């Protein structure tokens, strides 16, 4: 006899990655701002950010739920939060400006500015802190601190925080990586932090992503401002939401 979907509850796995932070301002060829921190990462499948255990199982019923994908931060701006239902991941902190400005706190913290700027703190269960900016350099130029990632903290100006690999889509992808200050802007839908693209420019963080899986028997529709794709993996459908045009977008399960 064919299976019949009822009102639930039914199991839902998720990965919620926020936007990465922008670099600090003021890079001028001799002085460097701090790198932008990676977006916070939360998941109840496989692996999660901040060194914590994967989150608790989530069960849903027929209904409408909120979904938001956070944008990456521009220079001197934090990344934006991403959320799915009650799960919220914090945007990455922006990097400190030149001459010892502190990096901002966030999902993962931004690196401090050159001349010893302190890195920003990360958020427990989402990411780690940024590194301290370089205090002096034999070449006469000084680098800002590396940013924190979902997998580890930034260390000084030479070691960016690592991201975390997750296979919720069926393939392993690394999300929410920190950056060295010279590493360029973060890529879309990674939650990666940001570095500068040259010695005199500033970078932007990568946008976040929301991925969730449901039994394929569940009928799913999205509000008009949601950009998403879906794929069948076994008995489940994986939905990957790559952008939302407002903070009021929704997904309806019926």
Q: How far apart, in whole angstroms, are the C-alpha atoms of residue 160 and residue 147?
A: 6
pLDDT digits (tens, 9 = 90+) for 72-115: 999 999 999 999 999 999 999 999 998 899 999 999 999 999 99
Q: Which residue has the higher pLDDT, 213 or 200?
A: 213
Q: Is the pLDDT of residue 250 over 60?
A: yes
Q: How far apart, in whole angstroms, are the C-alpha atoms of residue 97 and residue 111?
A: 9
Q: Read off φ and ψ for residue 109, nearest 5 degrees.
A: -85, 150
Please report the pLDDT score of residue 7 as a whole number: 64
Residue 135 burial (CB count, 10 A): 13
Mean pLDDT value of segment 190-195: 96
Q: Is the pLDDT of residue 5 over 70?
A: no
Q: How confident is the model at residue 32 (pLDDT cuts 50, 70, 90)?
A: confident
Please report the pLDDT score of residue 198 as a whole number: 56
Please report the pLDDT score of residue 3 as a whole number: 37
Residues in the chain, total: 254
User: Shortest CA distance to 203 belongs to which of 5, 41, 38?
Assistant: 38
Half-sphere exposure of 254 (CA within 13 A, CB side): 5
Q: Is the pLDDT of residue 13 over 70?
A: yes
pTM for this one?
Answer: 0.95
Please report the pLDDT score of residue 42 as a whole number: 98
pLDDT digits (tens, 9 = 90+) for 105-147: 999 999 999 999 999 999 999 999 999 998 876 555 678 999 9
Q: Which residue has the higher pLDDT, 1 or 218?
A: 218
Q: How confident is the model at residue 2 (pLDDT cuts 50, 70, 90)?
A: very low
pLDDT digits (tens, 9 = 90+) for 148-191: 999 999 999 999 999 999 999 999 999 999 999 888 899 999 99
Please report the pLDDT score of residue 219 as a whole number: 95
Q: How far apart, in whole angstroms, are the C-alpha atoms of residue 119 and residue 101?
A: 9
């Amino acid at each position: 006899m064919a299976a019949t979907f009822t009102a639930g509850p039914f199991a839902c796995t998720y990965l919620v990655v926020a936007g990465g932070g922008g670099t600090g301002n003021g890079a001028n060829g001799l002085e460097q701002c701090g790198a932008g921190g990676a977006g916070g990462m939360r998941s109840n499948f496989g692996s999660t950010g901040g060194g914590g255990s994967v989150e608790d199982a989530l069960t849903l019923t027929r209904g409408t739920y909120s979904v938001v994908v956070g944008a990456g931060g521009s220079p001197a701006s934090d990344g934006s939060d991403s959320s799915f239902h009650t799960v919220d991941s914090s945007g990455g902190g922006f990097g400190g400006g030149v001459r010892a400005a502190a990096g901002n706190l966030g999902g993962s913290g931004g690196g401090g500015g050159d001349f010893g700027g302190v890195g920003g703190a990360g958020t427990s269960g989402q990411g780690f802190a940024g590194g301290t900016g370089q205090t002096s350099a034999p070449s006469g130029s000084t680098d800002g601190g590396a940013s924190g990632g979902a997998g580890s903290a930034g260390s000084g100006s030479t070691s960016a925080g690592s991201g975390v690999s997750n296979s919720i889509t069926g393939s392993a992808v690394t999300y929410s990586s920190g950056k060295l200050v010279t590493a360029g802007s973060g890529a879309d839908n990674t939650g990666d932090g940001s570095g500068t693209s040259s010695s005199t420019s500033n970078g932007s963080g990568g946008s976040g992503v929301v991925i969730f899986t449901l039994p394929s028997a569940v009928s799913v529709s999205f509000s008009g401002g949601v950009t998403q794709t879906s794929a069948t993996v076994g008995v489940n459908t994986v939905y990957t939401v790559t952008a939302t045009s407002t903070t009021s977008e929704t997904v309806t399960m019926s």
